[in-house]
Structure 1
Amino acid sequence: MRIAIAGAGAVGRAIAGELLVSGHSVMLIERKATAIDPDAIPGARWVHADACELGRLEEAELQNVDVMIAATGDDKANLVASLLAKIEFAVQRVVARVNDPRNEWLFDESWGVDVAVSTPQMLASLVEEAVTVGDLVRLMTLRQGNANLVEVTLPDDTPLAGKPVRRIPLPRDAALVTILRGGRVIVPEPDDPLEGSDELLFVTTDSVEDALRQALGLGSPEEYGSPAR
């Protein structure tokens, strides 16, 4: 996959390194000449350009990438780069970094953002996920389609233990995508049985989260105001 990253600071370089290890083609776009350092990420294509300038993005051939990641430390720059990538270059997937949580409401499809990543929100979700058993924890909002990636760790005494996946009456706009069990990542098949302590990952919408709780035999959100017991 061809991926462009706007911003070659610590965050942008870290993302680039991970993507290169996974076999993707990476282009780093950086406006500060002093930050251009091909030796730091030798497998990436480095472009000295302002990701908010249409002409420079045309020179970088942004129309040829599959994913744009706006990862600068400036929310205004990330929004403009996202909008240009989506509207002017029809980039299929645009991911944007949110630096200030107060600006998160701006990072949606109207600015060309498919997925907004807010570090504070993500850290809070990860902490909640680590200590919560028996309720849904929202890990990420997928802006396209207003869907969420949510996680639930089944209690040891879950009534679903031993039941196959096909027996879970999932609401229409909820899909089970992964079961994490004892270090394994399981792509669920209809006849796979569930077990206590399974960690389930769903893609769902806001409107059906309560119905999903009911389908999983969980209590209401108000019952989980404290960490897992």
Structure 2
Amino acid sequence: MRVTVAGAGAVGRSIAAELVEADHEVMLIERDLAQVEPEAVPQAEWVHADACELASLEEARLQGCDVVIAATGDDKVNLVVSLLAKTEFAVRRVVARVNDPRNEWLFTDAWGVDVAVSTPRMLAAMVEEAVSVGDLVRLLTLRQGTANLVEVTLPANTPLAGKAVREVPLPREAALVVILRGGRVIVPQADDPLEPGDEMMFVAGEDVEEEIQRVLKGEPA
């Protein structure tokens, strides 16, 4: 997969290094010459250019990319990069970094963003997930406003203990995608029994999150 990362600061470089390690073809675009250090991620292609300029993106052949990641420290830049990538170059997947949580509402498909990643929100979610048992925690928004990755840890007194996955009356707009149990990753099957302490992760629409919460607490839907 060919991936372009706009912004070669600490975040952009870290993303590029991880993608290169996973055998993806990566291009880093950075307008600040002082930040252009090819030795930092030598396997990546480095381009000294302004990712907000259409001509620069054309020269970098952005239309040949499968994914664009707008990872600069400026939300305005990330929005412009996302919009150009989606509307001018028809990039299939656009991921954008949100630096200021107050701007998160802007990072939608109207600006070409498929996935918005808010570091403050994710850190808060990780803290909440670490201390919350029995409560639903939103970990990540997928395709802004359409679906979320949410997590619930079943408490010791869960009424679902011993019940099979197929016996849990989840709403149609929710899918149980994985169960974490004692260091194991379980891809849930219909007859798998649930246990106290199970970390259950769902992909679900925001409008059914409360229903999932009620179902897992054994309350009537």
Which position in structure 2 is the counterpart of 1:175?
175
Per-residue CA shift, 1:117-146, capped at 9, x if unaligned? 111111111100000000100111123562
The aligned amino acid for 2:65 is: V
- Report how many residues are paired: 220
**2:164 alignment partner in structure 1:** 164
Residue 213 in structure 1 maps to residue 216 in structure 2 = no
Pairs within 5 Å for 1:138-149: 138-144=138-144, 146-149=146-149
Partner of 1:55: 55
- Aligned partners of 2:189, 2:65: CA distance in 1, in Å? 33
Which residues of 2 match residues 17-28 of structure 1 at below 5 A? 17-28=17-28
What is the 5 A alignment of 1:61-140?
Answer: 61-140=61-140
Distance 1:33 1:22 in 2: 27
Distance 2:139 2:48 in 1: 34
| Contact 2:158/2:196 (<8 A) preserved | yes
List alignment gaps of at least 5 residues for structure 1.
220-229
8 Å CA contact retained: 2:116, 2:144: no
The residue aligned with 2:153 is: 153
Show structure 1 runs of 4+ deviating over 4 A.
none
What SS does structure 2 have at the residue aligned with 1:116? Answer: strand
Deviation at 1:218, TM superposition (A): 5.6
Q: CA deviation at 1:176?
A: 0.6
Equivalent pair of 2:97/2:116 in contact (CA under 8 Å): yes
The alpha carbon displacement at 1:115 in A equals: 1.0
Work out whether residues 134 and 218 of structure 1, in 8 Å CA contact, stay in contact via their aligned partners in 2: no
TM-score, with length taken from structure 2? 0.95
| Residue segments in structure 2 that go unaligned for 5+ positions in a row | none
Residue pair 1:98, 1:119 contacting (<8 A) in 2 also: yes
Counterpart secondary structure, 2:12: helix
Which residue number corresponds to residue 8 of structure 1?
Answer: 8
Q: Secondary structure at the match of 2:201?
A: strand
- Identity over aligned residues, as a percent? 70
Distance 2:161 2:60 in 1: 53
